[in-house]
Chains A and B, each alone.
Chain A
Amino acid sequence: VPGGGAPLRPCSTRGAQRGIHKPVIDRIIRVDHAGEFGANRIYAGQMAVLGRSGVGPVIQQMWNQEKEHLKKFNELMVAYRVRPTVLLPFWNVAGFVLGAGSALLGKKGAMACTVAVEESISEHYNNQIRTLIEEDPEKYKELLQVIKQFRDEEQEHHDIGLEHDAEATPAYSVLKTAIQLGCKAAIFLSERI
């Protein structure tokens, strides 16, 4: 501590009370919450367009799982006293527009969007799992369990997307790259603001 430097910082003592590395956990929960919120809106958009089509039940089932994920992160957010990202209203609209937009390209378009997003999310969860394990696997056991389970479920969604001819979408690789770039930007921003 430098002489004449910073006074007691309440934020660091709060983290110390639970023995957790608060800045790291804060980021993780904030970005995951934003991600599940966005995923919910994407599926909502897809259902708005394709809800009454043959692929409706499949999308609905994936959406239901995302709703469970969001519920869990809402609980974790309150438990760890993490602030949500300021960008939530923006992800609200952007997610819906992405879902509806991809669904307007047809069933294959919606599935391509699902594949792209779920692949990004799985990779992102894997990074977080690595970070938490590097920090302290024992201390963060519960959080690790949650993230691992969610990662497995997102991977399932990814596979379902592939099963439903996602790759047959016209301009599939362009679409996929664009969406994944958007996901990377969303993750970067939601961690910080």
Chain B
Amino acid sequence: PSHSYTGQGGQQSEDYESEEQLQHRILTAALEFVPEHGWTAEAIAEGAKTLGLSVAAAGMFHSDGSELILHFVSECNSKLSELLQKEQKLVQLGEAEKKPIDEFLRDAVEARLRMLIPYIEKWPQALSILLLPRNIPSSLNLLTSMIDDIWHYAGDQSTDFSWYTRRAVLTGIYNTTELVMMQDSSPGFEDTWRFLENRVADAMAMSSTASQVQSTGEAVVQGLMGAAVTVSKAETSRAVR
């Protein structure tokens, strides 16, 4: 099916570009100017200038920089996916060891958060914009698919309710670590990575406790059933006598 902006015969010329692709290029170029101008129309205008476009191109976007931030998040998520996919291939080819789950989750979250480092000064501003009601559907969508991606490459194959609990727990870990990172002034963000390690360890302990509680509960129930059967048998044999 040919779209409205292709030529006759549905052929696309070599330097044809869709509006979405153009916006993508402008926003990518704009990222370079974020540390200086923040997530603003100025950054977008500067980005457009480097592409040889008029600064009026910034008018294509909202003035609060929402699309720039969402674009950045989306790009980071894609980079993370590629990274995890590459690692998975190495493991499949036998060229790398399969990581234990806690290490995998820690490394994935750390890799993703490290992408914020060049923009960390302006990131708190971005977080508040992502929480605007208008942006919540998109930002939530991006967050949930990123968390789902991490679990997928971690080898999660759950098809029961734990599918939800795992993702909820990891989302909590990611969000709290991100907030800690905003306040962290230690060299190389070592306080943040230590916080992350502790939270992941907590989550692992919690899940093993949960399964212990379940097996204990099952054992208790079986014990009670056995006791009930014994007592009822004793009653019937006494009644017969």
Give B55-75 interface residues, CB cut-off 8 Å to A: 60-62, 67, 70-71, 74
Report if A19 contacts B (CB, 8 A).
no
- Are B142 and A89 interface neighbours, CB within 8 A? no
A-B interface pairs (CB < 8 A), number: 54
Report if B138 contacts A (CB, 8 A).
yes
- Are A3 and B159 interface neighbours, CB within 8 A? no
Give B75-130 interface residues, CB cut-off 8 Å to A: 77-78, 81
In angstroms, how far is the closest chain A Cβ from the Cβ of B222? 16
In angstroms, how far is the closest chain A Cβ from the Cβ of B162? 10
- Are B161 and A7 interface neighbours, CB within 8 A? no
Q: Which residues of A contact B138 (CB under 8 A)?
A: 6-7
- Are B19 and A9 interface neighbours, CB within 8 A? no
Give B130-182 interface residues, CB cut-off 8 Å to A: 138, 141-142, 145-146, 148-149, 152, 157, 159-161, 163-164
A10 touching B160 in the complex, CB below 8 Å, given contacts A1-B19, A3-B60 = no
- Which residue numbers of B lie inside 8 Å of A, CB to CB? 18-20, 23-24, 60-62, 67, 70-71, 74, 77-78, 81, 138, 141-142, 145-146, 148-149, 152, 157, 159-161, 163-164
- Beyond the given pairs A1-B18, A10-B142, A83-B164, 17 more chain A to chain B contacts, judged by CB atoms under 8 angstroms and listed by A's residue number, are A1-B20, A3-B23, A4-B60, A7-B67, A7-B70, A9-B74, A10-B77, A10-B78, A10-B141, A10-B149, A11-B145, A81-B148, A83-B148, A84-B161, A84-B163, A88-B160, A89-B161
- Complex A-B: 11 CB contacts under 8 Å: A3-B19, A3-B60, A4-B61, A7-B71, A7-B74, A8-B71, A10-B81, A11-B141, A14-B145, A74-B159, A78-B159
